[in-house]
Amino acid sequence: MRSTEVVMTGPGGPEVLATRERVVGEPGRGRVLVRTEAAGIAFAEVQMLRGRYLGQPRFPFVPGYDLVGRVVAVGAGVDGALLGRRVAAMTRFGAWAEVVEVPARRLAPVPEDVDAGDAVALVTNGVTAWQMVHRVARVQAGHTVLVQGASGGVGTLLAQLARSAGARVIGTASAGKHDVLRDLGAEPVDYRNADVASAVRRLAPSGLDAVFDHVGGPGLRSLWPLLRRGGTLVSYGSESTLEDDSHPLLPYLPLAGRVLTWALLPNGRRARLYYVRPTATFRSDLAEVIALFRDGKLDARVAHRLPLDRAAEALGLLVGGGVAGKVVLQARAGADNAS
């Protein structure tokens, strides 16, 4: 079986992406081959371009954090009933290919009536948002929450899920995306032209019940005091490390130390570092998110769908910062001409 795949050949911009073909052998024990229908593009790949993503393989490698597709071969020890099943997987690397080998234990079912691009927008991003809202911060009706980067792939879902839980949502984004935030039911704050903490304090003078932050960096210090007693700060990203030229691990140490220190303070507030993993709850949480989507209660917010051979263009959209929602790579029949 042959597979076309996208390779990140070295550090640089989206232009370093190249396509190649390779022969895919039989899957190993406990593994399956999935023919990809759609794969997600995430900020993680922007970090990988610059060698800033922790744990990324050495160049050259195939990126791709998640996929939706159909099982076309099973290895030894795998139930043959999986053949032909439509599935999702969070791979972290390797999903930008026509055929991908995945551990069978990492698969989650995807209903036949859900569009592949919509489904893949809900895999890593949807489970991340669901778990932070419901498992980490435990957002409830009457809460007020702040979503940093509320126009992004995770941010748009965070805002919707928090609103569904009955919370008031304040979201940060550039001014050009404020209509998107209002569409989601969030109150916008311009993070480029405003002191975010002061602007949020004016909107919520009695404090916040949750802060969801994907930036990290020094600005996080100004958000912690906004929490009222019982509130939770969730740090789930490190966008601020993108331009750092030190060892990739070094910028994370102050962030981890700061959050750990806050977590230990006996002041009635909580701080958590969050990272999505394909644990035992991943399948059930993805099923919850997909069910909300199928019921019309959650919008996947897919902004662009491009075919695999336009991966450089697709990643360039994210690098450029003008995207509101999710960019996906999709089988050509489902791709659009967005650029």
Give me the DSSP letters along 137-186: S---TT-EEEETTTTSHHHHHHHHHHHHTT-EEEEEE-GGGHHHHHHTTE
- What integer pLDDT is reported at residue 80 of this predicted model? 97
Question: Which amino acid makes up residue 14?
Answer: P
In angstroms, rounded to a whole number, what is the distance separating the alpha carbons of residues 14 and 97?
Answer: 17
Instruction: Name the CATH topology of 2-122+300-334.
Output: Quinone Oxidoreductase; Chain A, domain 1 (3.90.180)
- The 10s digit of each residue's pLDDT in 203-245 is 999 999 999 999 988 889 999 999 999 999 999 988 877 778 7
pLDDT average, residue stretch 312-330 = 95
* Structure confidence at residue 337 as a pLDDT band (50, 70, 90): very low
- The 10s digit of each residue's pLDDT in 103-113 is 999 999 999 99
Asked if 268 and 229 touch (Cβ cutoff 8 Å), the reply is yes
In angstroms, the Cα distances linking 54 to 41, 47, 50, 250, 337 are 17, 9, 11, 10, 33
Phi-psi category of 191—alpha, beta or left, where left has phi over 0 and alpha has psi -120 to 50?
alpha
Give CATH 3.90.180.10 domain extents, the chain. Answer: 2-122+300-334
- The 10s digit of each residue's pLDDT in 43-64 is 999 999 999 998 999 999 999 9
Asked if 3 and 24 touch (Cβ cutoff 8 Å), the reply is yes
* Structure confidence at residue 151 as a pLDDT band (50, 70, 90): very high
- What integer pLDDT is reported at residue 252 of this predicted model? 80
Among the residues of 226-335, which ranges form H helices?
252-264, 282-294, 311-320
In angstroms, the Cα distances linking 338 to 33, 211, 305, 313, 321 are 29, 33, 7, 10, 15
- The 10s digit of each residue's pLDDT in 96-105 is 999 999 999 9
CA atoms in the 13 A half-sphere facing the CB of 216: 22
In percent, the amount of the chain with pLDDT more than 90 equals: 86
- What integer pLDDT is reported at residue 112 of this predicted model? 97
Q: pTM of the predicted model, to two decimals?
A: 0.94
* Structure confidence at residue 278 as a pLDDT band (50, 70, 90): confident
Residue of 123, 168, 150, 260 lying closest to 214 (CA atoms): 150
pLDDT average, residue stretch 280-307 = 97
- What integer pLDDT is reported at residue 91 of this predicted model? 96
- What integer pLDDT is reported at residue 325 of this predicted model? 95
CA dihedral for 276, 279, 280, 286, sign (positive or negative): positive
pLDDT average, residue stretch 83-101 = 98
Asked if 172 and 150 touch (Cβ cutoff 8 Å), the reply is yes
Which residues lie below 8 Å from residue 164, measured CB to CB, with a gap of 6+?
Answer: 292, 297, 298
* Structure confidence at residue 33 as a pLDDT band (50, 70, 90): very high
Q: What are phi and psi of 270, to 5 degrees?
A: -120, 150
> CA end-to-end span of the chain, whole Å?
31
Q: What angle do CA 133, 134, 135 make, to 5 degrees?
A: 110
Whether the per-residue pLDDT at 168 is higher than 90: the answer is yes
- What integer pLDDT is reported at residue 335 of this predicted model? 54
* Structure confidence at residue 339 as a pLDDT band (50, 70, 90): very low
Whether the per-residue pLDDT at 334 is higher than 60: the answer is no
Summary mean pLDDT of the chain:
94
Give CATH 3.40.50.720 domain extents, the chain. Answer: 131-273
Whether the per-residue pLDDT at 12 is higher than 90: the answer is yes
* Structure confidence at residue 146 as a pLDDT band (50, 70, 90): very high
pLDDT average, residue stretch 83-94 = 97
Q: Any idea which architecture 131-273 has in CATH?
A: 3-Layer(aba) Sandwich (3.40)
Whether the per-residue pLDDT at 66 is higher than 80: the answer is yes
- What integer pLDDT is reported at residue 333 of this predicted model? 52
In angstroms, rounded to a whole number, what is the distance separating the alpha carbons of residues 190 and 198?
Answer: 11
In angstroms, the Cα distances linking 215 to 100, 123, 252, 264, 269 are 31, 21, 11, 22, 20
